[in-house]
Amino acid sequence: MRGGLWQLGQSITRRLAQGDKKAVARRCFATDSDLKKTVLYDFHVAHGGKMVPFAGWSMPIQYKDSIMDSTLNCRQNGSLFDVAHMCGLSLKGKDAVSFLEKLVIADVAALAPGTGTLTVFTNEKGGAIDDSVITKVTDHHIYLVVNAGCRDKDLAHIEEHMKAFKAKGGDVSWHIHDERTLLALQGPLAAPVLQHLTKDDLSKLYFGEFRVLDINGSQCFLTRTGYTGEDGFEISVPSEHGVDLAKAILEKSEGKIRLTGLGARDSLRLEAGLCLYGNDMEQHITPIEAGLTWAIGKRRRAEGGFLGADVILKQLADGPSIRRVGFISSGPPARSHSEIQDEGGNNIGEVTSGGFSPCLKKNIAMGYVKSGLHKAGTKVKIIIRGKANEGVVTKMPFVPTKYYKPT
């Protein structure tokens, strides 16, 4: 599935339109009994979800509408995503913050209770093990969500370091929230629709903030965040209430918020200039190279204290040799691994994600180029199927973000 969610969804749409349902089933649908299913699996199938294997799970790539239409509807009205394949966990104990700060680049100690941030788990060479949204619930409780495809390695990494930390007297424990399911509600109607299902005033919950509250009769973890560039929420709900909550959200929206699959989720995050781990960020890419310098807290820049800090702090001082940038290009959409050349035909980098933007009606992509050639307006050539296509380095996000922040 590396870099192929949008493309796979388009392939499915074309084949279904041509009546080639057997080929789609052979190539794309989950037939492996080992695939895990979220609590919404039957709900997806009943609503026309086209299920595909993703990170060991059977997940909807799209529903009855096209990926193009789903993307536009999210920006105009709203989308409900099943993201229960991702892994939520809690770290607790008086040393939970100091423990986590050994593994991530964020200034966790500086977060006010009930607030969070995007961060990166790093390795000894400064590379990214995974990116994660972390929330300081209290000074002794951290809630975080890690990517589905990274779950096993992330949990092994955390557990290994936790054992060593506790052996030295550190007070920290963890709980993996496999008893809960995770929904993402995104788009301009997300807040007004969700407000119908809770007595808490959502207008006082801003981007990056977290609350434990009652939604549709269930105690939920609510974070005002998302992966689309739109205002919205990630809702952790007890698994036995997941389907009821999904039904209630769709019902309260009067059909305007739609179930949305991984295909549109990929095009939405690309338009928002957000990284997909495994494509735009990997074990050999540092947060500085990935354009996430802002995520390194001021105190962490001064003190270090996280894995790979020597490499990362040196890049902060000297600058990285490569940088993640956005592109707009002509010809067919750029794909992951497409070569990037300067105007003289010299290799300067590689595309990591690309596709056709449903909102902008043009090709967009992101990738890495040599430092010095990363400035907006720099002309490049992107090689697709052996042919050079005109491109230009462009600032991200491609589509303006609409995060709900204090005015």
Intervals of CATH 3.30.1360.120 along the chain: 36-84+179-270
* Predicted confidence (pLDDT) per residue in 137-174, tens digit: 999 999 999 999 999 999 999 999 999 999 999 999 99
Tokens representing 154 are: 């992330």
Q: What is the predicted pLDDT for the residue at 33?
A: 75
* Predicted confidence (pLDDT) per residue in 95-113, tens digit: 999 999 999 999 999 999 9
CA distance 205 to 235: 13
Annotation: CATH topology of 36-84+179-270: Gyrase A; domain 2 (3.30.1360)
Q: What is the predicted pLDDT for the residue at 161?
A: 98
Split at pLDDT 50, 70, 90, the class of 72 is very high
Q: What is the predicted pLDDT for the residue at 6?
A: 53
Tokens representing 368 are: 């890495």
The binding site for substrate consists of: 234
Average pLDDT score over the chain: 94
Mean of the pLDDT values across residues 2-27? Answer: 50
Long-range CB contacts for residues 95-99, cutoff 8 Å, separation at least 24: 95/165, 95/170, 95/171, 95/172, 96/140, 96/141, 96/142, 96/171, 96/172, 97/136, 97/139, 97/142, 98/170, 99/161, 99/162, 99/165, 99/170, 99/172
Tokens representing 82 are: 């099943």
The pLDDT of residue 330 is above 70: yes
Tokens representing 106 are: 């964020």
* Contact indicator for 171, 225 with CB cutoff of 8 Å: no
* Predicted confidence (pLDDT) per residue in 273-287, tens digit: 999 999 999 999 999
Mean of the pLDDT values across residues 55-74? Answer: 97
The pLDDT of residue 60 is above 80: yes
* Contact indicator for 92, 186 with CB cutoff of 8 Å: no
Percent of the chain with pLDDT over 70: 92
The pLDDT of residue 133 is above 50: yes
Mean of the pLDDT values across residues 292-315? Answer: 98
Intervals of CATH 2.40.30.110 along the chain: 321-400
The binding site consists of: 234
How remote is the C-alpha of 356 from its chain's centroid?
19
CATH superfamily, region 321-400 = Aminomethyltransferase beta-barrel domains (2.40.30.110)
Q: Where are the beta strands (DSSP E) in 292-346?
A: 322-329, 339-341
The pLDDT of residue 4 is above 70: no
Percent of the chain with pLDDT over 90: 91
